[in-house]
Chain A
């Protein structure tokens, strides 16, 4: 089955700096790659996703890049703010994400230092 590796497990950055979280996947048939943010005491919430027919997607301060050849994708957060502190999960799916389960990475605890 699919295996998703995520790095780093903890990332500490100064407020205003950029943060990058990287994931690799094993199944070349995977075609949907969402990123979830989980705040303390809450369930994960989708922040951005990308499908295999696109190489990059951006939404304000958040961007995701996908390299299908290398089977890796990354989350980029620019101009980080205190409210960006959370645990971030990448995931992969072969079915577009809706009707099938997601395979998640182990998570990155992002800490924004004031």
Chain B
């Protein structure tokens, strides 16, 4: 079974802090994704990566950056957290160009 794990289920940070959200997949998938999920808005794509050290902006990249130094790990970075970044963050991975995305359980981030 594909397993996508996220470093924390719940996280509370203060405004202005630098925040790292980590995601690890164990199935040698090339592609990894970060989404945020907000009530009434569905899931929105922040960034994705199709190879180590490669990254592509999604629909809402502002305020975020990413890092992919190893194939299995994809990190989302909030350089200076703000209250409007309070959300559920979901990581996903996929293999190849025409296959399903597998999601992790999510990290609920609260910025106070």
Contact = CB atoms under 8 A, between A and B. Distances in A.
A77 B18 CA distance: 44
Interface residues of B, number: 30
A102 B101 contact: yes
Contacts, number: 74
Interface residues of A, number: 28
Contacts of B94: 97-99
Given A43-B106, A45-B103, A99-B30, 17 more contacts: A1-B59, A32-B98, A34-B101, A43-B92, A43-B105, A44-B43, A46-B100, A49-B100, A97-B101, A98-B96, A98-B97, A99-B97, A101-B33, A101-B35, A101-B48, A103-B59, A104-B44
Interface of B: 4, 30-31, 33, 35, 40-45, 48, 50, 58-59, 90, 92, 94-106
